[in-house]
Structure 1
């Protein structure tokens, strides 16, 4: 039995939504009737995903396109202001934007890469949430942070990633405790495992390298579910948490959606 959600009239802003997991989340919200904000640094990809969102929307509602680098304060402010000016409100914030850097702790650029990862994976989510609180308070909205199962296990070469995501999980729980009582905002986290990211291959030409697909397939074969994840797996989890009807009693939760990666002690 398939599960459907109705987000008609809701406004969903998903950072890093011009490709991969973020695009999958944006498309599911659009398909479920929401007004969707698609944002990223590449204008062509933003336009491609926005068109897909409009195409799958039950009423062909036009997705809002905002191009910018959210680590720049002026771009972040413009994103929020444009969203509220266009739709009049904000109901759902998905902090999805993230990066990874492979780095040896003794390499000369380790600290530089660490700061770069923390800036996007943690500080950006903190700043977005902080600035969206006034708008989310008005709608009794909710925040969903896209973390990683790397917050629970160590991944060799990706210490910055693991630390940033562990911090993001704690931020999720702190904000749930602080924003719930007075602001009526729910805050949760979704922690994916290995996700195939060739989501836009057939429609936009955005592809993963074949070697990446082979690697991900090999990892997924070790999972108890027998496959790597797909963007829609994470999108479905996000939609569930965003639904006040389905998940209105859930806040401060760290929802692991990793195909059993942690449970099976899968070694990458």
Structure 2
């Protein structure tokens, strides 16, 4: 049975929403009646997703487009300010923007890679949360951070990514404990497993290779398939709903198709994919 959420009159920022999981989240909120803020670095992609959200909106509400780089504080400030100036408030902040990279600790540029990744995956979340509190406190709003099962496992050559997500989970818990009593703001995290997105296409990997990777991983999952952006969007919508999840805060909600429970290992598949990436 499909669950229909009602976010009428709610204002939602979804970072990194110009593609993938973020786009799926934005589209579901739009379908559910929210005023959606689509943001990312690529103006064409932002415009495309914003139009999709507007078309999906029951009242044809125009999605707000904000192009920016969240590693820059002035762009984060502009995102919050533009949202509040346009809609008069902020109800939900979904911190979705993030990326991964391969970084062996022995590489000469390891620390630079580490800093770059942390700037997006963690620092931007901390800053946006800091700047959003005054607005979310007025609406009894809530924050959902998109983390990863990488927060709970390890893999060779991916330490910056794993560290960033583990830190994000702890930040989620700290903010839930701090912002609940003082400001009535709930804060939760969603930790996806492997989700079918265009991430590998953006790296120049042919679609056939990426599709085979996701298919192979999905066959190992207890649910028998890899995740789709809609799977994570549904989880986010549930947590964002005060009527459905008003008693949930500080939770790290795993949505991974059973990856962790079944102790799924995909080390070989990742290594094969990395080797193929290096050849393209």
Please report the TM-score for the alignment, with normalisation by the length of structure 2. 0.92
Secondary structure, counterpart of 1:38 in structure 2: strand
Q: Following the alignment from structure 2 to structure 1, what is the Cα–Cα distance between the partners of residues 214 and 59?
A: 36
How far apart are residue 208 of structure 1 and its match?
Answer: 7.0
Runs of 4 or more, structure 1, over 4 Å off, are none
- CA-based RMSD of the aligned residues comes to 1.3
Q: Does the CA-based 8 Å contact 2:14-2:38 persist in structure 1?
A: yes
Alignment correspondent of 2:263: 265
Which deviations, in whole Å up to 9, do the C-alpha atoms of 1:119-158 show, x marking residues without a partner?
1100110000000000000001000000000000012221
* CA separation of 1:139 and 1:110: change in aligned 2, threshold 3 A: same
Q: 1:14 aligns to what?
A: 14
Q: State the Cα deviation string for residues 16-60 of structure 1 (Å, max 9, x = none).
A: 000000000000000000000000000000000000000000000
Cα 1:109–1:198, aligned 2, differ >3 Å: closer, same or farther?
closer
Q: In the alignment, what sits opposite 2:208?
A: 210
- Contact (CA 8 Å) 1:38, 1:49: kept in 2 or not? yes
**Cα 1:12/1:145, change in 2 over 3 Å:** same
The equivalent of 2:250 in structure 1 is 252
8 Å contact from structure 2 (residues 73, 127) kept in 1: no
Contact 1:197 1:208 in 2 (8 A): no
Assess if the C-alpha contact under 8 Å between 2:142 and 2:186 holds in 1.
yes
Verify: 1:237 aligned to 2:241, yes or no: no
In the aligned structure 2, how far is the partner of 1:208 from the partner of 1:28?
28
Instruction: Structure 1 unaligned segments of length 5 or more: list them.
Output: 202-206
What is the SS of the residue equivalent to 1:69? coil
Distance 2:198 2:238 in 1: 23
| TM-score of the aligned structures, taking structure 1 as reference length | 0.96
Distance 2:121 2:252 in 1: 16
How many pairs align? 262
